[in-house]
Structure 1
Amino acid sequence: MTKNTLPATDAATTARYPKSIPYIIGNEAAERFSFYGMRSILATFLVAQFFNPTADPALQGVAVAKANETTHFFVSLAYTMPFIGAIMADWFFGKYKVILYVSMLYCVGHLLLAVYDHDLEGFRMGLLLIAIGAGCIKSCVSANVGDQFDKTNQSLMSKVYGWFYFSINAGSVFATILIPEINARYGSAWAFGIPGVLMALATLIFFMGRKMYVKNPPSGINKNNFVFISLYALFNIGKKKKGEHFLDVAKGAFTPERVEGIKAVYRVMAVFAFIPIYWAMWDQNLSEWVIQAQSLDRHIFGYELLTEQVQTFNPVFLLTFIPVFTYFVYPFFDRIGLKATPLRRIGAGLILTALSFVIIALIQTRIDAGEHPSVWWQILAYMILSAGEVLVSITGLEYAYTQAPKSMKSTMTAIWLLTVAMGNVFVALVNSSIADGGFFSKYQGASYYWLFIGIISVFIMIYLFVAPRLKERSYVLEPEDDNKIIADTNNL
């Protein structure tokens, strides 16, 4: 037992939450308000302001496709930039500096949206800066949560990631309720300006906690990193012996323990290969589903929801489901002997996501027939989608952190976030094809949603075959050896 190791019983009784956690969670709640507040009205704003300002029915289909294309390309950039932010943090500056300084650029992007709400080029520049800002800090923020823990309170990490995700959706709830109302009453300049104020507040909250953070220093560029080891192995793959992993050829030129760590990353990437289709579908609830809501009967409890407010049900359900799953559902399955492992959670989440889209496709079939279905049907789809999100997205955040060696925590999280970008690129290309009259132009109305249901069904079938054959290794943060493996278990 090392000097940093406590007996299990002592660790359980002495575990304490890090003092920095409230600042991290407060920062995340305000930042997510700014992001989701802006995004809550983005798709409908683009249609009404730039792509079909005269509300010409003949132009609506193309206008909607262009708005969806713009929205999904914006999201794809926002989730590609985390890889750049992770490299900046892990190699050069550390997470704290990247989060603080890039947040300032983020604020400028919000300012441009408010100022150029009648100028498409200026507006796109604002979207570009927001994508860079939100993206570069994203992998650093979630990885920064894990950095605050050591072996004495490691048992609390899963719960904190749950509350971290809770803060994301708390910010989203208030944003998706308030910003559409502000847009309807006071105009787009205010609706885009207020999220900018919240982003400034997020930056201030993060700065206030500066003396309490555990700040892991950047590792610098050294030959024992993921990129260099992978490239060396690929260029020397001919030297691989029968039965060896292709990375084993790098053990002579690089630290063997680090090569073993890279193997863990590739095992995680085998799981992540199934995630882009999930995000391709999930992100449509903030664009395609919002536009669909324009054709619904949105009266509930005597109040008519604004089109953009329907999406609020996603974070509302998440705020409900996170503690339910964390404290009741997962422990229940553990008690009956069906352990809720990460791979099982992800598989169940993919299935629920497909089911939510079946409901959306059936709703769209009625809309195509000239009906106005009740918004309650879409709310049901949001409920199922949110349950799937708890199973896939929260699990993925924790999985990305715990399965990576210490020196690549931000990078592994960025790879997870790249799955979001890949999914959104695919949706953007589909909508671009529709707008240009290309191959996917035949998939409009309900057939558009059935297309995605068919695609995710294929992925689910492959996942059910592959997942039982995957293994999982968790890494514990230890100052003297960041590659010490503490667990190696079959997941299914």
Structure 2
Amino acid sequence: MSNSKTEDFAIAEPEAIAPIGHDGNLAELTDREREMLRMEAEINARLDQKLNEKGAELLWPKACYFIVPNEFGERFAYYGIKPLFAHYLTNMVGMRAVDATIWTSNFTTMAYFFPLGGAALSDSFLGKYWTIVSLSVVYAIGTILLAVFSIPGLVSYNGVTRDGLGALPFWTWLFPVVLMALGTGGIKPCVSSHGGDQYLPHQTKGLNFFFSYFYVAINLGSLISGYLTPYLKQGILCFNRECYFISYIVCAAVFTVVMILFAVGKPWYRIVPPRGEFLPYKAVKAAAYAAYKWTGATREEREAKGNWLNFGEELVGPEFVIETRLFGNNFMMMLPTLFFWMCYDQGSNEWQFQYDMMKNTGIPPEAFSNLNPIFIVIMVPTFNYLYRVLERRNIRFTVLQRMGTGFFLMVLAYLISGILQIYVIRAYDPVNDPDNLNCINGWWQVPQWFILSLGETLLSPEGLKFAYANSGRQMRSQNQSVWLLMSALGDLVTSAVNQSLANNPAFNDSTSLQAITPSNIAADGSISQPAKYWLFTALCFAFNVWFVLWAKFVYKYKDVDGAMTAVPTKAERAALETERKEIIAEREAIQEGRVYGEEKI
């Protein structure tokens, strides 16, 4: 790798301008794309040389010591705040439970919708580092403001607090929530793809290792804060009330520390420079141009081009057309997973309200959901080991097969929770048993949390790997943002369904069950009926089937590494076996002196 200055790169041959390990066809790049590779090679010359010397077995570059703690702290803040949302809105702001569920889903929707903007900003103009730093500041400001506005009596729903006092209008609480969603959403696709950029293309073992433990860091952050903030809220009184303020300000402090840590790690980062053009617009323009040219092309011209999108090559170049096609293929593969997240995110609201109607385990409802990250922290390393065992035994278990299996486990978890809801409602008697002493024990939620966590282990970290490994160099953050977008769309569907069912007694009313309920339960829309669980289960299962069929019959990986397994397919094994037999035959021919038809002399 040359350490030349910029002017030396200007006269370099195509083979000399790429960073170490670049595996693309340089001859097919546009002038702009080749310029970007020159810049990347120059910026990272020293780091690339060191990484290359580490070889294919490198697991943990020094940059990861700054990147992974940042994700830990960001998730600490997010998951320290989110589990308190639903009860904060009902207990402090005065919302109905069904409205609190809707607003919790709305926040999650925003948090997972804004990655589209953060990824576009990163890949197109600011680059990953500066996008992460700038939007982290926005996030920190939002968490601090949320803590301030959590002081009792400052904000309210419909102008009146739960205590009956007047307060600031509702948007004063909504403003910091929007800032937080913008910050966490904007940086999320950039942090994961920035971590992936720290590896050279041939260091796939390290890349797989990084994404697995990156996901462990996510769950460690959520585990610690998920236990800490509910206990702070309940164990400390401030302003003569349960203290949401102290919980939120701790989250703000932790995130501020890791934000500073990430910023000072810049000298150790591989930097992929932004393209200097708005990539989403470029992709749309390429697709529109290709569609226009395809409609006017002859049959022979279409056959010569192959894929219709190839007509856009003359506008944006072959390399970007390939990246656009990969992006579209990945989008269609990831789309059905929004229904996985639709059911998954019910754990932070629907399952909490189910737990409220059960016998107390001594664990606050917000903290009980931390069974999920406990299971995840154990399961992710365990399954990484199992994947290696399967590979050693030559058993192929691809990334999409793992994700499809995890999807089905989510269906099973929600089905079990629906069955449990039947018995919970039958035993629930708030009039004669206000302390729920004779209700179903809260520990009966453990099986559904275990199966949900198992499904998440097989789908979520593998989805991060899938989105990165099967994307092009220019649009890695964009692909990560689409993966995160599925969670936003899932929450959007959840919010829409809950709103449409809010006043439907078959789904959100207890009066229809008075015949089998010991006492009259007020029909305030706060109790979800089993029919609502069956609806969500059916939707999740239908799109699980779509996912599996699409993966089996339609989707094609970017390359052999895209499947995230070293075990070849049956066709690849057959080709390898044929090649092996040819080599053996050639060796036998050499031994017998009959090489290429010539007799032994």
AA paired with 1:360?
S
CA 1:437–1:355: 2 relative to 1, 3 Å: closer
What is the distance in 2 between the residues matched to 1:236 and 1:359? 52
Counterpart for residue 370 of structure 2? 312
Counterpart for residue 58 of structure 1? none
AA paired with 2:399?
P
Counterpart for residue 456 of structure 1? 540
Aligned pair partner of 1:217 in 273, 276, 290: 273
Deviation at 1:383, TM superposition (A): 1.0
CA 1:13–1:259: 2 relative to 1, 3 Å: closer
Q: Does 1:283 align with 2:283?
A: no
Question: 2:68, 2:217 within 8 Å by CA — same for their partners in 1?
Answer: yes
SS of alignment partner, residue 274 of structure 1? helix
Counterpart for residue 463 of structure 2? 396
Question: 2:102, 2:495 within 8 Å by CA — same for their partners in 1?
Answer: yes
CA 1:222–1:355: 2 relative to 1, 3 Å: closer
CA 1:51–1:413: 2 relative to 1, 3 Å: same
Counterpart for residue 294 of structure 1? 356
Deviation at 1:48, TM superposition (A): 1.4
What is the distance in 2 between the residues matched to 1:349 and 1:219? 36
CA 1:489–1:106: 2 relative to 1, 3 Å: farther
Aligned pair partner of 1:67 in 66, 80, 100: 100
Question: 2:394, 2:567 within 8 Å by CA — same for their partners in 1?
Answer: no
Correspondence 1:138-157 to 2 at 5 A = 138-151=188-201, 153-157=203-207
What is the distance in 1 between the residues matched to 2:111 and 2:21? 39
Deviations 1:371-423 (A, max 9, x none): 52222221111111111111111111111111111011111111111111110
Q: Does 1:359 align with 2:383?
A: no
Higher Cα radius of gyration: 2
Correspondence 1:116-265 to 2 at 5 A = 116-117=149-150, 118=153, 119-120=155-156, 121=170, 122-151=172-201, 153-186=203-236, 187-221=243-277, 225-239=282-296, 241=299, 244-265=306-327
Question: 1:359, 1:377 within 8 Å by CA — same for their partners in 2?
Answer: no
Question: 2:208, 2:465 within 8 Å by CA — same for their partners in 1?
Answer: yes
Deviations 1:295-343 (A, max 9, x none): 22232xxxx1111111110000000001000012x22333444311011
Aligned pair partner of 1:266 in 300, 321, 328: 328
- TM norm structure 2: 0.73
AA paired with 1:320?
I
Equivalenced residues, count: 466
AA paired with 1:350?
F
What is the distance in 2 between the residues matched to 1:298 and 1:490? 53
Q: Does 1:373 align with 2:440?
A: yes
Aligned pair partner of 1:343 in 373, 395, 400: 400
CA 1:194–1:139: 2 relative to 1, 3 Å: same
Question: 1:86, 1:139 within 8 Å by CA — same for their partners in 2?
Answer: yes
Task: Detail structure 1 runs of 4+ shifted over 6 Å in the superposition.
Answer: 486-492
Q: Does 1:473 align with 2:551?
A: no
Deviation at 1:236, TM superposition (A): 4.0
Question: 2:127, 2:273 within 8 Å by CA — same for their partners in 1?
Answer: yes
Instruction: Compare relative contact order (CA 8 Å, sep 6+) and give the higher one, 1 or 2.
Output: 1
CA 1:311–1:17: 2 relative to 1, 3 Å: same
Counterpart for residue 435 of structure 1? 502
Question: 1:14, 1:152 within 8 Å by CA — same for their partners in 2?
Answer: no
Counterpart for residue 25 of structure 2? none
CA 1:113–1:247: 2 relative to 1, 3 Å: same
CA 1:222–1:11: 2 relative to 1, 3 Å: same
Identity within the alignment, %: 27
Q: Which moved more, 1:240-249 or 1:85-94?
A: 240-249
SS of alignment partner, residue 472 of structure 1? coil
What is the distance in 1 between the residues matched to 2:176 and 2:557? 41
What is the distance in 1 between the residues matched to 2:189 and 2:291? 27
Question: 1:341, 1:491 within 8 Å by CA — same for their partners in 2?
Answer: no
What is the distance in 2 between the residues matched to 1:308 and 1:448? 22
Question: 1:44, 1:291 within 8 Å by CA — same for their partners in 2?
Answer: no
Deviations 1:224-279 (A, max 9, x none): 94232123234444136556423122123231232122222222122112111011
Deviations 1:340-374 (A, max 9, x none): 10110111011100111111111111111125222
Question: 1:80, 1:421 within 8 Å by CA — same for their partners in 2?
Answer: yes
Aligned pair partner of 2:490 in 413, 423, 428: 423
Correspondence 1:95-106 to 2 at 5 A = 95-106=128-139
AA paired with 1:259?
V
Q: Does 1:384 align with 2:384?
A: no
Counterpart for residue 34 of structure 1? 77
AA paired with 1:399?
F
Q: Does 1:45 align with 2:88?
A: yes
Deviations 1:195-243 (A, max 9, x none): 1111211211111212111121111117894232123234444136556
SS of alignment partner, residue 214 of structure 1? coil
CA 1:237–1:280: 2 relative to 1, 3 Å: farther
Deviation at 1:85, TM superposition (A): 0.5
What is the distance in 2 between the residues matched to 1:46 and 1:233? 49
CA 1:405–1:487: 2 relative to 1, 3 Å: farther
CA 1:95–1:13: 2 relative to 1, 3 Å: closer
Deviation at 1:430, TM superposition (A): 1.4
What is the distance in 1 between the residues matched to 2:56 and 2:543? 43
Q: Which moved more, 1:40-49 or 1:127-136?
A: 40-49
AA paired with 1:169?
N
Question: 1:268, 1:400 within 8 Å by CA — same for their partners in 2?
Answer: yes
What is the distance in 1 between the residues matched to 2:558 and 2:507? 41
AA paired with 1:398?
K
Deviation at 1:437, TM superposition (A): 5.0
Question: 2:233, 2:244 within 8 Å by CA — same for their partners in 1?
Answer: yes
Instruction: Give the unaligned 5+ runs of structure 2.
Output: 1-14, 23-51, 157-169, 237-242, 429-438, 510-526, 573-601
Counterpart for residue 86 of structure 1? 119
What is the distance in 2 between the residues matched to 1:455 and 1:376? 27
Question: 1:400, 1:413 within 8 Å by CA — same for their partners in 2?
Answer: yes
CA 1:383–1:16: 2 relative to 1, 3 Å: closer
Question: 1:100, 1:207 within 8 Å by CA — same for their partners in 2?
Answer: yes
Instruction: Give the unaligned 5+ runs of structure 1.
Output: 53-62, 478-485
What is the distance in 2 between the residues matched to 1:235 and 1:277? 34
What is the distance in 2 between the residues matched to 1:422 and 1:22? 32
What is the distance in 2 between the residues matched to 1:390 and 1:177? 21
Measured on the aligned residues, the alpha-carbon RMSD in Å equals 2.8
SS of alignment partner, residue 275 of structure 1? helix
What is the distance in 2 between the residues matched to 1:359 and 1:441? 19
SS of alignment partner, residue 558 of structure 2? strand
Q: Which moved more, 1:21-30 or 1:144-153?
A: 144-153
